Structure 1
Amino acid sequence: MAVQRAAIPVRPATSADSRLVAATLARAFIDDPALAYLFPDVLTRPAKLLKFFSTAVRIEARPADTLIAGDGAAMTIWRPPGAWRTSPLAMLGVLVPLVTTFGTALPRALRLQALIESHHPATPHWYLAFAGCDPTLHGRGFGGAAIRSKLRDCDHAGIPTALETATAANLAIYAALGFAVKGEFDAAPGLRFWSMWREPVPTR
């Protein structure tokens, strides 16, 4: 008889979770192609990623739109319909940490952001901005739990979801969650992004 795996708890983040969220995502994205493009030095990348995600968490308007699975094993940062784009005002509010994090690479980071936004769908949707799991805990369902928790809400509300990924291995993972590739584009030599979209699943 198969042993059922216990349900993984998922909860919304609070402002007190900002360090936990940043630290987990920094570990999760250590080999991400897009962030490796922005932070090519493997020796300084861990510290740079921690600074980057600490700043990213500050930009998010509503901490509760970040979901935490397994008490910190995995995180998802979501943006609601109509708010998927990072506003210039929010960017201005973190200008100093952005400069200290990226240094001379900041123009390259801003160009990459603008390119991604130019390919983003206009149809109202929930946007999965970041999803990551502690690399030491891969394969245990934490990341899937964090994503599915929000997808269930979207299904009940009848709202689609969207994301971009620069990791080819993620395509099958997101496809299993109901996402389909809607487009792809090259951001730099060797750096390809895939745009993915998920229609809500009707619920009874």
Structure 2
Amino acid sequence: MSIDVRPARKADIPALARVLARAFYDDPVMAWVQPDAARRKAALPGLFSALTRHHFLAGRGTEVAVSPDGIAAAALWDPPGGWQQSPREQLAMLPGVIRAFRGRLAAGRIVTDLMKENHPEEPHWYLGIIGSDPAVRGGGFGHALMDSRLDRCDAEYAPAYLESSNPDNIPYYQRFGFEVTGELALPEGGPSLWPMWRAPR
């Protein structure tokens, strides 16, 4: 089955956000930031909607993989030099972030600060978020999204970077040529993130 991968449009944001919310519901870092499962489930669509609408969509690196039933997976990439959010973008996203991390804003800040402090300076494509709807996981939708953007990275001879927030996903990214470059441990026995770098082919 051939999978249709295309740039995301503004009208895709609600469906895209719901897919990413389902994909990240059990994510170790998300669960550490917001341990209340009911709050996490209710708030994640709004968080991903805010991130996409006010930051990622403008960078033209947001893609969706589509099944006959609609959006099945999404990838939010930042182009080289575009990974940092502007003060205006941060302000626009704030309501969605507050709802998602209600009572846990300090924990959310710890994660984002740790990621920023360890972000590579060399220009690169940055995979901020990728996820497939659990109902279609294993169906090749994430693979199609990775191929789409990494083919462009190779054509531009540009490296790529991501942080894996789940150790189970590291071998998956390694199959695409990413290599672990370190481990970012969250405080108080929290989970880790693994920075991963891919040189162009």
Q: Same fold judged by TM-score > 0.5?
A: yes
Distance 1:108 1:190 in 2: 10
C-alpha change, 1:112 and 1:49, in structure 2 (3 Å) is same
2:139 is matched with 140
Distance 1:42 1:96 in 2: 20
1:28 corresponds to which of 20, 23, 28: 23
CA contact (8 A) 1:82 1:125 kept: yes
Q: What does 1:25-104 correspond to in 2, within 5 Å?
A: 25-60=20-55, 61-62=57-58, 64-71=60-67, 72-104=71-103
CA contact (8 A) 1:179 1:198 kept: yes
Residue identity in the other structure for 2:8: A
Q: What does 1:1-204 correspond to in 2, within 5 Å?
A: 6-60=1-55, 61-62=57-58, 64-71=60-67, 72-188=71-187, 189-201=189-201
Residue identity in the other structure for 2:13: S
Unaligned runs of 5+ in 1: 1-5
How many residues are paired up?
196
TM-score, length of structure 1 as denominator length: 0.91
User: Could you say what the CA RMSD is over the residues aligned between the two structures, in angstroms?
Assistant: 1.4
Instruction: Return the offset for 1:65.
Output: 1.5
Of 70-79 and 168-177, the range deviating more from structure 2 = 70-79
Instruction: Return the offset for 1:92.
Output: 1.4
Q: Deviations over 1:23-62 (max 9, x none)?
A: 1100110111111111101222211111211211122252
CA contact (8 A) 2:79 2:125 kept: yes
Unaligned runs of 5+ in 2: none
Residue 123 of structure 2 aligns to a residue whose secondary structure is coil
Distance 1:43 1:33 in 2: 15
Residue identity in the other structure for 2:38: L
Bigger Cα Rg: 1
Residue identity in the other structure for 1:65: G
Instruction: Return the offset for 1:63.
Output: 6.5
The percent identity for this pair of structures is 39
Q: Deviations over 1:144-167 (max 9, x none)?
A: 101110000110010000000120
C-alpha change, 1:83 and 1:52, in structure 2 (3 Å) is same
